[in-house]
Amino acid sequence: MSSSNRMIGVDVGGTFTDIFVLDEATGIAEVAKVPTTRPDQSVGFLAGINSRVSDISTVSVVVHGTTAGTNALLERKGARIGVITTQGLRDVLEMRRRDRPRTWGLRGEFKPVVDREVRLEVPERTLADGTVRTPVDLDAVRQAARQLIDDGCLACAILFANSYANGENERAAVQAVREIWPNAHVSASAEILPEIREFERFSTTALNAYLQPEVSGYLARLETALKQGGFGGEFMIVQSNGGVMDVDTAARLPVRTALSGPAAGVIAAGYIAEAAGFPDVITGDMGGTSFDVSLIAKGQSMLSPQTSIDFGMVVRSPMIEITTIGAGGGSIAWVDKGGLLNIGPESAGSIPGPVAYGQGNTRPTVTDANVVLGRIDPDNPIGGKLERLDVEAASDAILRHVGEPLGLDALAAAEAILRVANSRMAGALRLVSIERGFDPKQFAFMPFGGGGALHAGAMLADVGLARAIVPRYPGVTSAMGCVIADMRQDFVQTINAGLAGIDILALTDFMQSHVDSGNATLDASRTHFEGRDIKFTLDMAYLGQTHTVPVPLPVTVKNGTITPPTEQQIGDAFDAAYRATYGRLLKNGTRRVINLRSAVTGRRPRFDLATLAPQGGSIKAAHKGCRQVHFGDRWHKTELYDRLALPVGAEILGPAILEQPDATVLIEPGLLGKVDSYGNTLIERVST
């Protein structure tokens, strides 16, 4: 490939780094999968790009779905940071919402990401209505900042009471701190989240500061390496909301990357499924460490206003709703003291990896079970680094750690590992569907990641899904999502006022400032947009209610200028949203506007998925032979095919295995695989 219109998507996972290279001029795509490198993930990042691109100066855009922030939060490996806060609020991060890690029991333990000795208080007070009762003591702020620097803090979070209502005190403190702080890592709560609810605002801002040194350093190393290699294009990062942002914004607001990689996969899955004619789909991203599940209804992914990365680590920022469990290919199988078989959450990762990799691990994983049962070809492991998988070592490990404690032989133990893993994955699918009022029979299942398509049949059987759609390149779907994702900026501002007599002018000013800021970011980008979308939503409730309903606001924006909504329009929109949610309205209830939420999206050009479809070919030419594969309690003769060589319209009756460089697709007995016009494989039950 020599075009200068190439876009590259890079997704760094726990085991593999995935690369998707798209030539926009020709529509030709190439993929690569290389081991993730630790502790410096940038090595694998660049190795993956170089495996497909000889001259990086011919690349126009690199979009990255990163797990750097996610891993830093989960592993508590962020920077040492300090907090400067209002007198009396030193322990908000520790008190949280008066919840605890374990519901039952007399003891519970939680340690916030900021040690108490570096949470410092200063005199200041802003009231909930925005009135400044006590101006901030800037001398105390400077003294606190110097103390934090002396204590070795690499970042600072300024967390003042009610700064969402009036940021005057906080802005003055931030300016004073930034004048003496040795780097750019100073986060202010009114800048990060100007929204009511103290703990959520404090937590999100503190976690942003906690991630800044790690994530900004990681992105800076990547950007430097790309430039040294001759890259002169645009480098962007996927956000947790499914959009992308420039690298400078990501370095300033790293908390928005908390679910960056998984979000990219959901975006790609939704695009692929809708193009294939299935707007209702449940995604299942099975990588080396985790299994990430999300639901897409009528072509729209579900956005959550906040998530908890771990107990007490709350991030309030729009994120695609993703449920994650520790059931990846590298998840370790173990038997507890009570004789119960468990899967994960500990993972073998990429190094040492599963036992079959022969890199020093001795405990069996889900991948080892698939290898022993013949579902993965030991002579052609994905990733391209290993020459052959060690089936014997995997079998011995399964027998020793699972079989012997449970009184099973190696094959039965391997089947047991898969049954437990499949049960946990099915539970995650039920959580996002049945438990939220969706009928899984109306949904298709899209497995992706390196291991997802090995478990498609089990999900159809266990959950009752209609069919599975395996994308053309399942192992690099998240990387493809990086290329597809739009550029999006989200804003929030607390209004906290009754609807009757609401200050429409002030509300419109906030909306206009969000539009101006969002458009400025899009204008600064070197990316071409097919169009721009602007959406406004109000969080509203009746007086006395804690929970709000999202109310889409009918607003016209022409040439970047807003036509103000009327009080009547807002009221009608609230009534419609509330009735749709609860089935009724409250008689004589007083309606209140709590928050304004705005989203400014630049729609990036889409590529035609049909260009990924196979051109010509035949089933006979794609046939590679057969081998024995274990299903249930016996071996089955199973046909093997080169999946990428199967023609459009091909139908493959199970049991069969479709192999490709980035993944393995398993079609179990009683199932039928069909290749559609986009190169996807539809797996359905055989009609009787």
Question: Would you say residue 307 lies in a domain?
Answer: no
Same domain as 188, residue 85 = yes
Task: Return all residues near 422 (Cβ < 8 A) that are at least 6 apart.
Answer: 455, 458, 459, 462
Domain assignment of residue 517, yes or no: yes
For residue 414, tell me if it sits in a domain. Answer: no
Query: What sections of 181-243 are H helices per DSSP?
Result: 189-192, 198-228
In 10 A of CB 443, how many CB atoms?
25
Hey, what are 183's tokens? Answer: 């780097």
Domain identity same for 548 and 643: no
3-state helix, strand, coil in the chain (%, to 5): 35, 30, 35
For residue 312, pLDDT over 60 is answered with yes
Nearest CA among 361, 289, 332, 392 for reference residue 14: 289
Any idea what DSSP says for residue 104?
Answer: S
13 falls within a domain? yes
Q: What's the whole-number mean pLDDT along residues 351-355?
A: 86
CA atoms of 671 and 685, how far apart (whole Å): 5
109 lies in the same domain as 20: no
Q: In the structure encoding, which two tokens stand for residue 289, read together?
A: 């460490």
Q: Are 641 and 651 in contact (CB under 8 A)?
A: no
The per-residue pLDDT for range 423-440, each reduced to its tens digit, is 999 999 999 999 888 999
Of 143, 76, 149, nearest to 114 (Cα)? 76
What pLDDT digit, counting tens, does each position of 479-525 carry?
999 988 888 899 999 999 999 999 999 999 999 999 999 999 888 88
Segment 632-637 mean pLDDT: 91
Higher pLDDT, 72 or 154: 154
Whole-number Å distance between alpha carbons of 278 and 270: 9
Point out the domain boundary residue: 603, 630, 655.
603
Residue type (1 letter), 539: D
User: Is residue 293 a contact partner of residue 433, using CB atoms and an 8 Å limit?
Assistant: no
Q: Cα(192)–Cα(616) distance, rounded to whole angstroms?
A: 53
Give the residue-averaged pLDDT of 204-219: 93
> Which CATH number characterizes residue 563's domain?
3.30.1490
Q: Identify whether 103 is part of a domain.
A: yes
Q: Which residues pair with 657 in a beta bridge?
A: 640, 666
Q: Are residues 137 and 234 in the same domain?
A: no
Where is 331: in which H helix or E strand?
strand 331-335
221 lies in the same domain as 165: no
Residue 400 counted as domain residue: no
Q: Determine the average pLDDT of the residues in 390-405.
A: 94
Q: Mean pLDDT lowest for which of 107-111, 170-174, 326-330, 383-387?
A: 383-387
16 touches 36 (CB < 8 A): yes
> Do 560 and 650 have their domain in common?
no
pLDDT, residue 140, reads 97
Mean pLDDT estimate for the chain? 90
State yes or no: pLDDT of 1 exceeds 50. no
Distance (Å) of CA 228 to CA 46, 57, 231, 232, 248: 11, 10, 7, 9, 18
- Say what the pLDDT of residue 384 is: 56
Q: pLDDT band at residue 2, thresholds of 50, 70 and 90?
A: very low
Render pLDDT for 546-582 as a digit per residue (tens, 0 to 9): 889 999 998 888 888 889 899 999 999 999 999 999 9
Q: Which residues contact 435 (CB under 8 A, 6 or more apart)?
A: none
For residue 4, pLDDT over 70 is answered with no
Domain encompassing residue 11: 6-73+216-238+249-257
Q: What is the pLDDT of residues 591-616, one digit of tens each?
A: 999 999 999 999 887 778 888 888 88
CATH of the domain at 48: 3.30.420.40
Question: CB of 120 within 8 A of CB of 136?
Answer: no
Reported pTM: 0.84
Neighbours of 472 (CB within 10 A): 24
Angle of the 477-484 helix axis to the 260-275 helix axis, nearest 10:
80
Tell me: do 90 and 198 sit in the same domain: yes
Domain check: are 121 and 170 in the same one? yes
Does the pLDDT at position 296 exceed 60? yes
CA distances from residue 529 to 5, 388, 532, 604 in whole angstroms, order as listed: 15, 45, 7, 5
Average pLDDT over every residue of 211-227: 90
Place of tokens 């600064």: 524
Please state the rounded mean pLDDT for residues 41-54.
Answer: 84
Task: Name the region of 277 (left: φ>0; alpha: ψ -120 to 50; beta: rest).
Answer: left
- pLDDT per position as a tens digit, 142-201: 999 999 999 999 999 999 999 999 999 999 999 999 999 999 999 999 999 999 989 999
What number of other Cβ atoms are within 10 A of residue 170's Cβ?
Answer: 26
Same domain, 591 and 632: no
Q: What per-residue confidence (pLDDT) applies to 424?
A: 92
Max mean pLDDT among 202-211, 301-310, 353-362, 443-452 falls in: 202-211
Do 356 and 371 form a contact (C-beta atoms < 8 A)? yes
pLDDT above 90 as % of the chain = 59
Domain boundary among 570, 587, 603: 603
Report the b/e string of 538-551 with b at 16+ CB within 10 A: bbbbbeeeeebbeb
Is 374 contained in some domain? no
Number of domains forming the structure of the chain: 4
Residue that is last in its domain, among 571, 603, 635: 603
Q: Is the dihedral of CA 176, 182, 183, 186 positive or negative?
A: negative
DSSP string, 98-139: S--SSSSSS------SS-GGGEEEES-EE-TTS-EEE---HH
- Residue 287: predicted pLDDT: 79
d(CA 107, CA 111): 14
Residue 193: is it exposed, middle or buried by C-beta count within 10 angstroms (0-12/13-18/19+)?
Answer: buried
90 and 156 fall within a common domain: yes
Q: Taking CA 158 as the corner, what is the angle to CA 152 and CA 159, rounded to the nearest 5 degrees?
A: 125
Q: Angle at the Cα of 69 (from 255 to 153), degrees rounded to 5?
A: 80
On whether residue 57 sits in a domain, the answer given is yes
Query: Is pLDDT above 80 for 309?
Result: no
Q: Are residues 589 and 561 in the same domain?
A: yes
Give the Cα separation of 377 and 643 in Å (integer): 14
Q: Phi, psi at residue 20, to the nearest 5°?
A: -125, 120
DSSP 164-196: TT--HHHHHHHHHHHHH-SSS-EEEHHHH---S
| Cα angle value 472/354/18 (rounded, 5°) | 35
Q: Are residues 220 and 187 in the same domain?
A: no
Q: What is the pLDDT of residues 451-474, one digit of tens each?
A: 899 999 999 999 999 899 999 988
